Amino acid sequence: MPELPEVEVTRQGISPHLIGAVVDKVIVRNPKLRWPIDPTISHLEGQTIRSVTRRAKYLLLDTEAGTLILHLGMSGSLRVLNPAPTAEKHDHLDIVLSSGAVLRLNDPRRFGAAIWWALPIEAQPLLKQLGPEPLTDDFNVEHLVQALKGKTRAIKLALMDNKIVVGVGNIYANEALFAAGINPKRACGSVSKARLTKLVEEVKLVLAKAIEQGGTTLKDFTNADGKPGYFVQQLHVYGRGGLPCDSCGSSLQEIKLGQRATVFCGKCQR
């Protein structure tokens, strides 16, 4: 599943082609995504796209009449095409611009979403309960201490809770906890403020590095055959269960937490 850095780089890639553009037509080929695409999405037609922003893993295309909310799900990708080639099996949605360019959503597994929201975006149920963005000042140690106080669930599961902080998916939770020296199984309420301070720093650092890497790896969002995926980067623990720890050389352990693969060093992380 694309994680926050992949979605942010997608936003950066498509924004220059969309901001200020007028939507000429909306073509829905298959409305059966995670939630059925509502016919009111046609209200986007004739609107000027004022901004392209991101909230958690949702992309928001804002217009005067409302906001188009896009989610890439597990396998979705967006491309700006001009001219647009003939649509294929998994090309479910086209946003045709007056310039002739097309923003196309391709989603083989159909776990993505496209929602037209005419009311103020702050009232959208999907976004209303989300925690702070991890790369903003709102995600800080004071917030984390308060959110975790008295809680007994594993720190990794808390870190991946979108009500506590958005967008810290499995890959980056593994990496941030390793960098902070915190065992992912540790009860979140038992982690000291000093160690949580380090964790906040590492979450910001690992996500920022991934976004920077994606900005150089995935430069072109205008090719029909371009597919964004996980960035080629140095991962210290994720996907390395059984291999030597980069820091101490001991064998990395792999377990399941919340049904997700969790890799850590039993010596370096406590």
Structural domains in the chain, sorted by start: 4-128 (3.20.190.10), 141-264 (1.10.8.50)
The reply to whether 90 sits in an annotated binding site is: yes
At residue 175, the pLDDT reads 96
At residue 75, the pLDDT reads 85
11 noted as active-site residue:
no
The reply to whether 109 sits in an annotated binding site is: yes
At residue 225, the pLDDT reads 46
3 noted as active-site residue:
yes
Please pick, among 2, 5, 134, 228, the residue that the annotation labels catalytic: 2
At residue 212, the pLDDT reads 85
2 noted as active-site residue:
yes
At residue 219, the pLDDT reads 52
Which residues contact residue 137 at a Cβ distance below 8 angstroms, ignoring those fewer than 6 apart?
Answer: none
At residue 204, the pLDDT reads 98
Please pick, among 185, 209, 260, 267, the residue that the annotation labels catalytic: 260
At residue 96, the pLDDT reads 97
C-beta contacts of 211-215 below 8 A and 24+ residues apart: 211/5, 211/8, 211/9, 213/5, 214/5, 214/6, 214/8, 214/9, 215/9, 215/12
Please pick, among 54, 57, 79, 104, the residue that the annotation labels catalytic: 57
57 noted as active-site residue:
yes
The reply to whether 151 sits in an annotated binding site is: yes
- Run means of pLDDT, 10 residues per run, the chain, 270 residues: 85 93 97 95 98 96 97 90 93 96 94 94 93 97 97 98 95 96 98 98 95 65 50 82 97 96 97
pTM for the model: 0.90
Query: pLDDT digit string (tens) for 99-141?
Result: 999 999 999 999 999 999 999 998 999 999 999 999 999 999 9
